Amino acid sequence: MTGLFVTLEGIDRSGKTTQTALLLDALGDDAVGVREPGGTPAGERVRDLLKDPAVKLSPEGEALLFAAARAQLVRDVIRPALAEGRVVVSDRYLDSSLAYQGSARGLGVEAIEAVNTFATGGLQPDLTLLLDLDPAVAASRAGEEDRFEQAGLQRKVHAAYGELVAADSRRWRRIDADRDPAEVHHDVLAAVRAAREAPAGAAG
């Protein structure tokens, strides 16, 4: 019995948290929801550190903290849930690190990928949903302020996601996030249902 690993990606304020909650509600007890960084006691402590703008972190330190939290989440939550045949829905995953630290922060996508392959044991999502939103529109939405909110950084991240989609279009689905949340949810749920119905190894 094999589960389905679904991740939601996008720039800040693109609606990932809202859409993750709506998807989990629609899937019911068959699904397990996690967020990054976080999802474990250790990961939540790392999240507090990363979200605190008063704590100065180098891009390298930032990337390694994300990878450490991700390693714990994969070992403690994601792999066990997938082994039970459940759907795991993650608000961000490896692609966030590739876009933010690898590309936008200038550390190099290949370097970040290597660190995270070690951290996750090479676990890749079956399906990744990009909630696509113009950075100018995202900036106009209310939300929590943190070290990742700078407009210039968000533009770079938006471009980086486009490159990731182009490099692995089989796994990604791009969804227009500049709509009513109910409309976005309709497309998100449809994509997940299609992936669940796909033959083994063909999800995404």
Residue 84 CA from chain centroid, whole number: 22
Q: What's the pLDDT score for residue 204? A: 38
The closest alpha carbon to 134, from 9, 16, 20, 10, belongs to: 10
Q: What's the pLDDT score for residue 150? A: 63
Q: What's the pLDDT score for residue 203? A: 44
Please state the pTM of the whole predicted model.
0.91
Taking the C-alpha atoms of residue 131 and residue 144, their distance in angstroms, rounded to an integer, is 18
Confidence of residue 45 (pLDDT cuts 50, 70, 90): very high
Q: What's the pLDDT score for residue 72? A: 98
Q: What is the pLDDT of residues 124-180, one digit of tens each?
A: 999 999 999 999 898 887 665 554 556 588 999 999 999 999 999 999 999 999 999
Measure CA of the first residue to CA of the last residue in the chain; give whole Å. Answer: 18
Taking the C-alpha atoms of residue 141 and residue 17, their distance in angstroms, rounded to an integer, is 14
> In this structure, what are the phi and psi dihedrals at residue 185, rounded to the nearest 5 degrees?
-60, -40
**Residue bearing the bigger pLDDT, 98 or 199:** 98
The closest alpha carbon to 174, from 130, 134, 204, 135, belongs to: 130
